[in-house]
């Protein structure tokens, strides 16, 4: 079953697809997923013709999401298809497509987002004096499984830092 916001987004995309066909002569039928989380409202992948949306932000800010985020992400796909993959993500080509789609060419949304969780860091050191590296849990776990990270200065492997007493 399609939720209310998904239905609104599908309708908006349908209108935008017609605009793209009229303006650029392109048929756009990207795959759409609702699995994006965190601070980003949307994400587009031109190579895969794929858009991801953040359901939580869409449900909290439905009007602006439909008016701004939906054309924003579709404009990425249109710009990619029309101008190729070497353009800047929010460059003049993308901005021109945004205007053609009737949206303000803004790079970021204005939604209030819940703070991103604080990732745990692990202290590591090398043989350089007073060295300390704060590694994420991902890198820490890789080291635990045998991966080696080295200091760029002394080229020695990073080791867990001994706790200060």
Whole-number Cα distances in Å, 120 to 117, 141, 164: 9, 12, 18
> Which structure tokens are listed for 148?
């080696």
Name the β-bridge partners of 123. 134
CA–CA separation, 154 and 63 (whole Å): 55
Could you give phi then psi for residue 160, rounded to 5 degrees? -55, 135
73 noted as active-site residue: yes
Could you give phi then psi for residue 145, rounded to 5 degrees? -90, 5
Catalytic annotation, pick one of 73, 104, 132, 159:
73
List the one residue out of 77, 31, 67, 71 whose CA is nearest residue 52: 31
CA–CA separation, 124 and 79 (whole Å): 44
Active site residues: 73
């Amino acid at each position: 079953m399609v939720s209310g916001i998904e239905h609104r987004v599908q309708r908006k995309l349908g209108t935008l697809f017609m605009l793209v066909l009229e303006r650029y002569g392109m048929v756009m039928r990207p795959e759409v997923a609702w699995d994006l989380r965190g601070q980003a409202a949307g994400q587009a992948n031109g190579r895969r013709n794929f858009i991801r949306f953040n359901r939580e932000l869409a449900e909290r800010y439905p009007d602006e999401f439909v008016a701004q985020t939906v054309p924003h992400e579709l404009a990425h796909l249109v710009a990619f298809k029309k101008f190729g993959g070497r353009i800047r993500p929010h460059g003049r080509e993308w901005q021109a497509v945004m205007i053609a789609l009737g949206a303000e060419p803004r790079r970021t949304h204005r939604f209030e987002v819940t703070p991103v969780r604080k990732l745990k860091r692990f202290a590591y050191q090398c043989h350089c004096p007073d060295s300390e590296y704060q590694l994420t849990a991902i890198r820490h776990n890789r080291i635990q499984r045998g991966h080696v990270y080295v200091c760029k200065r002394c080229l020695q492997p990073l080791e867990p830092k001994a706790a200060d007493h």
